[in-house]
């Protein structure tokens, strides 16, 4: 287990702003995630949570008119720097979305394709990494006898775990999770939540969720975002229980404790 008291943060977001045309989705946001910890980002709709995640893996590059400023350091390297190799960044920073989005390929190919795209060629390595990733997500025993079947034939929860396996196979430094359970039924959601809990300590996780109870169960640290003067911003960040139980920032405290109407 990594000692977060002494290690520098794995992910440090500093004065991050994201603008789309003339709208500021996120203004001057800063937070730090220690290596091996899970930080949950919560806040009302439209406060810039997804925009924050998109800046971390440079998906904002793909949005016409999007402008990003500030810095996003992963192990002290600024991913927003022009010289950053975006292909290399996508290997370092995995992402799982709200809707499971497996490729319309076989279960095996979903993982093998991602590995080959990132330069893994040796057949034994490919198979070993595929099995490890499927095992880590609890899928191996469920799918090992039907690896050549279409991934889209899996249940929603299994598809989501396959998306986790596809990301984990690349051994990312940081994993971004954008409401990873919200499209799943309660049983599948609980399975994915257990999977996320099992990743703590081994991966650095930044998770957007609207489920405050889930944030409280899973997150080591919490960042509460808000919309102020039409722009998304971070109200307060800190240890999860401290934010839930102590009125450090009145608005954040009221939001977390459901006393805002």
Give the interface with ligand ATP as residue ranges (CB under 6 A).
20, 23, 25, 45-51, 63, 232
- Among residues 20 and 97, whose Cβ is nearest to ligand ATP? 20
Smallest distance, ligand ATP to C-beta of residue 103, A: 23
Q: Among 156, 160, 165, which residue's Cα sits nearest to residue 135?
A: 165
166: number of Cβ within 10 Å: 25
- Among residues 51 and 110, whose Cβ is nearest to ligand ATP? 51
92: number of Cβ within 10 Å: 18
Smallest distance, ligand ATP to C-beta of residue 197, A: 23
How many whole angstroms separate alpha carbon 255 and alpha carbon 225? 10
Distances (CA, A) of 97 to 8, 24, 91: 27, 23, 16
How many whole angstroms separate alpha carbon 17 and alpha carbon 192? 31
Smallest distance, ligand ATP to C-beta of residue 223, A: 12
Smallest distance, ligand ATP to C-beta of residue 183, A: 13
- Among residues 57 and 158, whose Cβ is nearest to ligand ATP? 57
- Among residues 171 and 182, whose Cβ is nearest to ligand ATP? 182
Q: Among 68, 170, 182, which residue's Cα sits nearest to residue 119?
A: 170
């Amino acid at each position: 287990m990594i000692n977060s008291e002494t290690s520098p943060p794995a992910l440090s977001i500093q004065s991050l702003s994201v603008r789309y045309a003339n709208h500021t989705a996120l203004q001057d946001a800063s937070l730090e995630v220690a290596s091996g910890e899970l930080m949950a980002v919560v806040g009302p709709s439209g406060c810039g949570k997804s925009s924050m995640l998109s800046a971390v893996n440079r998906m904002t590059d793909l949005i016409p008119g999007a402008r990003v400023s500030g810095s996003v350091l992963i192990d002290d390297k600024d991913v927003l720097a022009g010289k950053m190799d975006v292909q290399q960044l996508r290997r370092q920073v995995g992402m799982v979305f709200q809707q499971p989005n497996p490729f319309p390929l076989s279960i095996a190919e979903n993982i093998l394709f991602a590995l080959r795209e990132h330069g893994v060629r040796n057949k034994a390595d490919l198979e070993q990494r595929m099995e490890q990733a499927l095992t880590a997500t609890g899928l191996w025993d469920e799918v090992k006898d039907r690896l050549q079947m279409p991934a889209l034939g899996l249940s929603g929860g299994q598809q989501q775990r396959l998306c986790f396996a596809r990301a984990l196979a690349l051994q990312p430094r940081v994993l971004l999770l954008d409401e990873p359970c919200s499209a799943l039924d309660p049983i599948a959601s609980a399975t994915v939540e257990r999977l996320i809990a099992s990743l703590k300590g081994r991966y650095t996780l930044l998770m957007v969720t609207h489920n405050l109870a889930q944030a409280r169960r899973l997150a080591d640290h919490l960042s509460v975002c808000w919309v102020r003067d039409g722009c998304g911003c971070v109200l307060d960040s800190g240890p999860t229980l401290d934010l839930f139980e102590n009125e450090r920032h009145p608005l954040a405290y009221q939001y977390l404790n459901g006393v805002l109407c």
